[in-house]
Amino acid sequence: MNRQIRRLGAGLLVLFGALFVQLNVIQVLRADSYNDNPNNTRAIVRDFSRPRGQILAADGTVLARSVPSEGRFERQREYPEGELFAGVTGYFSFIAGADGVERTYNDVLAGRTSETAGDLGELLLGEPRTADVTLTIAPEVQRVARDSLGATRGSVVALDPRDGAVLALWNFPSYDPGLLSSVDIEAAQAARDALLADEANPLLPASYRETFFPGSTFKVVTAAAGLSSGQVTAASPRYPSSSGYVPPLTTTPINNFGGGTCGDALFAILQVSCNTAFAQMGVDLGAEVLVGQAEAFGFNDVPPLDLPRVEVSPIADVASFTQNAPVLAMTAIGQNAVRSTPLQMALVAAGVANGGQVMVPHVMADVRDQDGEVVDRFEPTVWTRGTSAAVASTLTDAMTGVVERGTATRLAVPGVPTAGKTGTAQLGNGLSHAWIIGFAPSDAPRVAVAVIVEAQPGASEQTGGRVAAPIAQAVLSAALEARP
C-alpha cells in the first residue's frame, strides 16, 4: 500500500511539475507572442469601455480620441483625420484587436503604467488616469506625402537623421480606422471583411511591413562597403567603360539601362548609376564585405521602430553566395538576393546623413498625463553604426553630386544642398519599382527620406528620378519647414 501511495505521489509531483512548466511557458516565454497576436482581443474586450487617452500629432492635432457612445459600450474610438494616419495610429477595434500606436502604447493610453496610474486612492476609488501620446509626425508633412504620392501605390518615409524621429510615414492605399473601431459590431465586421477582401491590401502599412527589391538605391550600401573596406576610394579604382559586365561562372552579361556604356571612379558611376561598375564592385569586394556592410546598416535585423510587427529587410547570408558570383553581382545593384522596406532604405539615407550612425526610429515624442505633465519622453539612441564618419562624408559628397549632375536632379530643394540616389527595381514583367532616397541640407542634414512608387510601366535608370524624386522633393521641403 505504501509503495502504491509513493508511486501515486511521485506521479502527481510529475504532473504538477509538467503543469508548472507549461504555465511558465505560456505566461512567460510565450506571453509576448500571445499578446502581439492580432487575433487576441482579450485586452480589447477589457479596455473597450474604459477611459482612454488621445493620440496627438506633433502640433497637437487630435488623431485618435474616445467619445461617449450609447448602447453596449460607453465609449467609441474616433479618428478625426481618417485615413491620413491609419498606418501609424492603427485602430482599436472590438472585432479586430488593435494595431499601430494603439497597440504599442495600449497600457499608456489606458492608464495602466506606473507613470500614469496615480496614487492608491485613485486606483481604488477613481477611474484610471489615462495618458496622451504625442507623435513626432507633423500633419502638414504627412499631407504633403499623401498628396504628392496621390492615387498611386507606394510609400513615403521621412526621418530626422539626428534623433530618429519619424516625420512622415505614409503608404497608399490606406483605410479609415474609424470604420473598424465602430461600436456597431456588425458594421465594423463588414468593414473589416471588405478591407481583407481588397486585393490592394489597404490594411498593410507597406512602409515598414513589406519588402521590395531596392534597385539602385542599394548602390549606396555597395559604395559604403567599398569605402569601408579600403578597396574603393573617391579616385580609384576606375572601372572600365562597358555596356555589359559578365560575372564569373556565367556567360550572361549584366547590362546598363538602355544598353548604355559607362565606367570611371566612384562619384561618376554613382551619378549615372552604372550597373556594370557596381556589379563588378560587388564581385571584387566579395560576399562577406557586402553582406557585412548591409547588416551594419540594419539589414537582417528588425528596425526598433515603436510600431507592431516591423518587417526585416533581408539579404542572403555569405554562404549562399559561394560559387555564385552572378547572384552576388545582381545583389550589389539591388536585385535578386536583397529586399528592403522603405523604412530600411530611409534608415540607410539617415545613417549616411548622420555621420554613419543610424538612430533608433520612433513615432512617440512624449507621453503626458491627465494634468498635461510629461511622464515619458523618447530619448534618442544609436541603433547601429553603418559607417565611419569619414566614409559617410565621402558618400554625402557623392550623393550630392547625383542630385547636382546625375539622375536625381529633380530631388533638389531650391536653395538647399541636397543629396540623393535614385533606383529602378525591375520586376521582370515590363514593370519596375521607382525608388529614391536622400537627405537635406547635405551639409547639415535635418531630414532623410525614402520613396517607392510601385509597379511603374517600363524600366529605365531615369524612372526613380522622374517618378519618385518629385515626391521626395516635396516631402523634404515640407519637413524642412516643419523641423527647425
pLDDT of residue 42 exceeding 60, the answer is no
Domain for residue 291, yes or no?
A: yes
- Among 47-56, 104-113, 170-179, which is the least confidently predicted range? 47-56
pLDDT value of residue 404: 97
Structure confidence at residue 125 (pLDDT): 47
216 classed as catalytic: yes
Helices (H), 406-468: 463
Mean pLDDT along residues 261-290: 98
Give the torsion sign (CA, 224, 228, 231, 233): positive
Residue 117 in domain: no
Which one is predicted more confidently, 250 or 73? 250
Domain membership of residue 132 (yes or no) is no
Q: Which three cell numbers stand for residue 214?
A: 531596392
Which residue range is the domain that position 439 belongs to?
A: 215-482
Identify the residue with better confidence: 6 or 85: 85
Residue 171 lies in a domain: no
> Total domain count for the chain?
1
Average pLDDT, the chain: 90
| Catalytically annotated residue among 182, 216, 228, 273 | 216
Residue 170 lies in a domain: no
Residue range 16-41: mean pLDDT, rounded: 57
Q: Does 222 fall in a domain?
A: yes
Average pLDDT over residues 216-238: 98
pLDDT of amino acid 121: 43
What CATH number corresponds to the domain at position 293? 3.40.710.10
Q: Return the pLDDT at 270.
A: 98
Mean pLDDT calculated for residue range 367-395: 96
Contact 183, 73 (CB under 8 A): yes
Q: What is the pLDDT of residue 120?
A: 46
Quick check: is 474 in a domain? Answer: yes
Which whole number is the average pLDDT over 205-221? 97
- Cell of residue 24, nine digits: 511558465
Helices marked H in 198-310 = 206-209, 219-229, 266-271, 275-285, 287-297
pLDDT at 289: 98
> Tell me: the pLDDT tens digits for 382-433?
999 999 999 999 999 999 999 999 999 999 999 999 999 999 988 877 889 9
Paired with 359 in beta bridges are: 382
Q: Is 145 a member of any domain?
A: no
Percent of the chain clearing pLDDT 90 (strictly above): 77
Structure confidence at residue 25 as a pLDDT band (50, 70, 90): low
Main-chain phi, psi angles of 136, to 5 degrees: -85, -10
